[in-house]
Structure 1
């Protein structure tokens, strides 16, 4: 993947859509118990909340855990909307991949929904995705350094 163009050029060449993965969705009126069961079944820590085919927010396992304390363990009447962080920022699938890390830092979040030009959900990009991409690119950069610097040993 990496060429001698440099790490920045490689990061820019990748889009958010290329590093995003499929998102599991829920609705605002679903119970947090059902949402937690979905997260458990899917082995994930967040669900994208959709309303009328648009992203309304993201609900995380952390928000559900905090709701347990707030509601003293009785989540029987608590819905996703009750614990949802609204106003979730989204990224366009055509945004440069470097925008994912920048957005996460600015918003203080680990996951950002990715949408297409009509604002329909196409995936979710996570901090794990950004770290994996960065690690891969740094490994490729090290290979170039080793090839261009005979005798170099890390």
Structure 2
């Protein structure tokens, strides 16, 4: 299983030039806690940063700054930690740990944004695998009985 198979394909994005107010409104409309900041390079949307609701709270709200006068480029984390669509889940988890993030943009071989994978996505995939493994011990006696009968 790889990140491309479990990632969310519908990603909320904006450009560097958006204001923090516009980004916050977009987060609210889309019911998301993060935005992938992209630039169009060679006709492809390429991730150049990440903006989270936490970034907005710590950099803008807590400092009582005006979100209409500050741009996404001034607050976003850049460069973003990324994973390729073909990368396995272990690599995604390791990259999250090393970078201290809970979400990673997923890119194709050309570097274009194809999705986003979250810690919740990884946990769900691992839980599914553990459930499947737990069923092995339940099924084993049935198979042995059937083959010996």
* Bin for the TM-score computed over the shorter chain: 0.7 to 0.9
Q: Name structure 2 gaps, 5 residues minimum.
A: 143-149
The corresponding residue for 1:69 is 62
SS of structure 1 residue aligned to 2:88: coil
| 1:100 Cα deviation from its structure 2 partner | 1.2
Q: 1:137 aligns with which of 113, 119, 129?
A: 129
SS for the counterpart of 1:85 is coil
Higher RCO, 1 or 2 (CA under 8 Å, sep at least 6)? 1
**8 Å CA contact 1:15, 1:97 repeated in 2:** yes
Report the RMSD for the aligned CA atoms in angstroms. Answer: 1.3
Q: Out of 20, 37, 40, which is 2:25 matched to?
A: 37
Where do 5+ consecutive residues of structure 1 fail to align?
1-13
**Deviations 1:103-140 (Å, cap 9, x if unpaired)?**
10111100000000100000000001001111111111
Counterpart for residue 120 of structure 2: 128
Q: Which residue of 2 aligns with 1:11?
A: none
Runs of 4+ in 1 over 3 A off after TM superposition: none
Q: Is residue 54 from structure 1 mapped to residue 54 from structure 2 by the alignment?
A: no
Query: Would you say how many aligned residue pairs link Structure 1 and Structure 2?
Result: 136
Q: TM-score, normalised by structure 2?
A: 0.86
Q: CA shift at 1:97, angstroms?
A: 2.0
